[in-house]
């Protein structure tokens, strides 16, 4: 019989944690035992895995004894605090937060793009930011063929990227607004219902937000190229699930929309949805609960010599988080690293 693994999900009661468990089940990941971990607030709660209710355990320093793989998604500070205890126990950590992404020795992996980097791991593999993952899945084939010089990207990010509280905020604020009640602002920095917030994560000294800088730092690391210039504007939008991105790329070599369409029609995990005459283009509502990265509106940027515009949509909780993390765990098995 092939080997089965004890898998912990840290942050199992959260929006991403729930999807991690669903993805483990859906992908038939060989789980011997699932250990859901969360904070003291979740004591007494259960999660559903393979039709069974499993009691949530409170995360502590001794949580990792006997655990082969731990998927972390409880915030960066929790990863920083508890991942070292996991590593001490020989547990392999797949971390969905930004806690370790920029450390030189820690691989940052999107399996369709740089799976081989997993082989360099020393206990932790970082899962990139949701917006970066879907963008590089679409751009890696273009970079290999045409060498990307510069990326300009604007994101339209759903509230689920900010966790369960933000999902409830959009629901409550929308209800109150439509009922002509006074809107009580939820967990985001402003009302999100019927609004757009050009502010995700903290502001940095250069005027960008950290979310925007993540797209720069992480794209360079995943594509192994410090020469790619990236400028991002990240915006929270009143959509529950799936992030959308308007992406403009400038390449070294001459590029055409037709060639990009041909390349992306064969690219792993990419689904081309590009028939404007039939009103066919990717939309967040159609990408919900799907693992793929949907690309459309591919057209020449007529304002520069070698440029392309496109529209990229994917479910931020799946390819942007849980699905990518489980794919990394599957690669660990494939590469015989666990």
At 334, phi and psi to the nearest 5?
-60, -40
Choose, by CB under 6 A, the member of 8, 17, 34, 35 that binds ligand A2P.
17
Q: Is 283 exposed, middle or buried (CB count within 10 Å of its CB: 0-12, 13-18, 19+)?
A: middle
Q: Segment near ligand A2P (CB under 6 A), from 142-150, 157-165, 197-205, 209-217?
A: 157-165
Q: Which residue has the tokens 């529209």?
A: 311
Q: Is 276 exposed, middle or buried (CB count within 10 Å of its CB: 0-12, 13-18, 19+)?
A: exposed
Residue whose CB is less far from ligand A2P, 117 or 211 = 211
Closest distance between ligand A2P and the C-beta of residue 144, in Å? 34
Q: Segment near ligand A2P (CB under 6 A), from 22-30, 159-167, 219-227, 295-303?
A: 159-167
- Contacts to ligand A2P from residues 21-40, by CB under 6 A: 38-39
Q: Annotated active-site positions, please?
A: 130, 243
Residue whose CB is less far from ligand A2P, 74 or 325 = 74
Contact yes or no for 328/28 (Cβ under 8 A): no
Residue whose CB is less far from ligand A2P, 14 or 320 = 14
- b vs e for 81-120, b when ≥16 Cβ sit within 10 Å of the residue's Cβ? ebbebbbeeebbbbbbbbbbbeeeebbbbbbbbbbebbee
15 near ligand A2P, judged by CB under 6 A: yes
- Contacts to ligand A2P from residues 295-334, by CB under 6 A: none
Rounded Cα distance, 332 and 127, in Å = 14
Closest distance between ligand A2P and the C-beta of residue 60, in Å? 9
Instruction: Write out the residues near ligand A2P by the rule CB under 6 A.
Output: 11-15, 17, 38-39, 41-42, 59, 74-75, 78, 163-165
């Amino acid at each position: 019989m092939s080997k089965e693994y004890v898998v912990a999900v840290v942050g199992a009661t959260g929006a991403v944690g729930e999807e991690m468990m669903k993805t483990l089940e859906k992908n038939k990941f060989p789980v011997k035992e699932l250990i859901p971990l969360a904070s003291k607030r979740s004591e007494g709660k259960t999660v559903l895995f393979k039709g069974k209710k499993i009691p949530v355990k409170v995360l502590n320093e001794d949580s990792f004894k006997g655990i082969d793989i731990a998927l972390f998604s409880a915030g960066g500070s929790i990863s920083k605090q508890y991942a070292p205890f996991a590593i001490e126990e020989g547990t392999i950590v797949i971390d969905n937060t930004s806690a370790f992404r920029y450390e030189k020795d820690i691989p940052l992996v999107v399996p369709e793009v740089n799976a081989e980097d997993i082989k360099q791991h020393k206990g932790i593999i970082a899962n990139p930011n949701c917006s970066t993952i879907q963008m590089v899945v679409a751009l890696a084939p273009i970079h290999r063929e045409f060498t990307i010089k510069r990326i300009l990207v604007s994101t339209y990010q759903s509230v689920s990227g900010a966790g369960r509280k933000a999902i409830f905020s959009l629901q409550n604020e929308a209800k109150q607004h439509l009922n002509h009640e006074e809107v009580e602002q939820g967990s985001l920095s402003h009302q999100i219902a019927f609004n757009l917030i050009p502010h995700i994560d903290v502001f940095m000294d250069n005027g960008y937000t950290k979310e925007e800088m993540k797209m720069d730092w992480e794209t360079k690391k995943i594509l192994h190229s410090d020469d790619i210039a990236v400028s991002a504007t990240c915006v929270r939008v009143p959509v529950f699930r799936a992030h959308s991105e308007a992406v403009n790329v400038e390449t070294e070599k001459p590029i055409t929309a037709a060639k990009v369409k041909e390349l992306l029609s064969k690219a792993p995990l990419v689904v081309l949805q590009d028939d404007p005459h039939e009103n066919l283009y990717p939309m967040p509502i159609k990408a919900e609960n799907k693992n793929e990265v949907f690309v459309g509106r591919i057209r020449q940027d007529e304002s520069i010599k070698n440029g392309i515009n496109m529209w990229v949509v994917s479910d931020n909780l799946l390819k942007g988080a849980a699905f990518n993390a489980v794919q990394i765990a599957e690669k660990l098995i494939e590469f015989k690293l666990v």
